[in-house]
Structure 1
Amino acid sequence: MARGTEVDRGRALLDGAIAGAVGSTALNGVTYLDMALRGRPASSTPERTAGKLAALAHLGLGPEDRAANRRSGLGPLLGYVIGVGVAAAGAAVIGRPRLPTPVGATLLGAGLMLLSDGSMTALRVTDPRQWSRTDWISDIIPHLIYGAVAVATWHRLAQRAARSRC
């Protein structure tokens, strides 16, 4: 592999990670806004997923009072890791933004949703077949916003990098 290609892939990976972090922040912001507007409680699925993953890895989280607190912290952290990872992986594979923003946003948001909801379904934390229309909307909208914000951020970072090379 040529040195320039390695640098380009490394730059794409870093830009993708940054875009994923920004997208994940937007996803969480929209989710918290939804909770505030509708008065709904936070989802327990991130904590339950963290607990299931810890059990699968044979990791003790300590006495139950501390384990509950650890699951509370690990659940959202898993969300950020997945959000950053999905965008970083997408950027590393693609190299530079090529798709129109709406297409890229939809693909990235759907990919994140598939990975997060799919893993929770595989772990038997949730069953999307039992979700209501409102549940689906509450899941789809933040993931699409994640995709839109991540792709817009990635495009912006790529534009700045291209200008700095000139």
Structure 2
Amino acid sequence: MVDGAIAGAVGSAALNVVSYLDVAVRARPTSSTPEETVGRLAGLAHVDLGPEDRAANRRSGLGAVLGYALGIGAGAVFGMLAGTRRMPLAVATSLLGGAVMATTGGSLAVLRISDPRTWRPSDWVADVVPHLAYGMAAAATFNRLRPPSARCG
């Protein structure tokens, strides 16, 4: 589980780097969905984030923390399920990246922040590519942390 959490943290960093590179290359705005998610969750939990100027800063900070928590948590769950096994990189990449992407997209839909069914192809690319980076970085890190006896080949 600890190895999975470490792998999830590495994957989360990779996802953020790829996302911010996309922002820089395409000069697109950053996503507001993390902040909107925090705002919606705070409202559902009846948590007051303070006056609007401070609440905006809290939503921004907590949005980033929420993303890392999801990535680290997904890695930890993956680590518990994988046990001592080392998985093929393509399989682990797909499982990790797909699970985080589905969780993120599903929560956006459930909270009525965004509807992935209405996304344009460029929206999907902006979502799929960073999640693949997450999956690949997390999977490679997890496999690297496996003891020699658990490694294939």
TM-score with structure 2 setting the length: 0.94
CA contact (8 A) 2:75 2:96 kept: yes
Q: What is the CA–CA distance in structure 1 between the aligned matches of 2:87 and 2:143, rounded to whole Å?
A: 10
Within the candidate set 147, 157, 162, 2:135 is matched to: 147
Q: What is the CA–CA distance in structure 2 between the aligned matches of 1:95 and 1:152, rounded to whole Å?
A: 15
Quote the residue 1:10 is aligned against. Answer: none
Q: What is the CA–CA distance in structure 2 between the aligned matches of 1:159 and 1:112, rounded to whole Å?
A: 25
The number of residues matched between the two structures is 150
Deviation per residue, 1:22-60 (Å, 9 max, x gap)? 000000000000000000010000000010011111110
Correspondence 1:94 to 2:75: no
Within the candidate set 22, 25, 28, 2:13 is matched to: 25
CA contact (8 A) 2:86 2:146 kept: no
Q: Secondary structure at the match of 1:21?
A: helix
Unaligned regions of 5+ residues in structure 1, if any?
Answer: 1-12
Q: What is the CA–CA distance in structure 1 between the aligned matches of 2:84 and 2:103, rounded to whole Å?
A: 22
Quote the residue 1:40 is aligned against. Answer: 28
Q: What is the CA–CA distance in structure 1 between the aligned matches of 2:85 and 2:61, rounded to whole Å?
A: 33
Correspondence 1:14 to 2:14: no
Q: What is the CA–CA distance in structure 2 between the aligned matches of 1:36 and 1:158, rounded to whole Å?
A: 35
Q: Secondary structure at the match of 2:10?
A: helix
Quote the residue 1:128 is aligned against. Answer: 116
Q: What is the CA–CA distance in structure 2 between the aligned matches of 1:106 and 1:96, rounded to whole Å?
A: 19
Q: What is the CA–CA distance in structure 1 between the aligned matches of 2:85 and 2:113, rounded to whole Å?
A: 34
Runs of 4+ residues over 6 Å off in structure 1: none
CA contact (8 A) 2:8 2:73 kept: yes
Correspondence 1:57 to 2:35: no
What letter matches 1:15 in structure 2?
D
TM-score with structure 1 setting the length: 0.87
Q: What is the CA–CA distance in structure 2 between the aligned matches of 1:15 and 1:111, rounded to whole Å?
A: 18
Question: Taking every aligned residue pair, what percent have the same amino acid on both sides?
Answer: 55
Alpha-carbon RMSD across the aligned residues, in angstroms, is 1.3
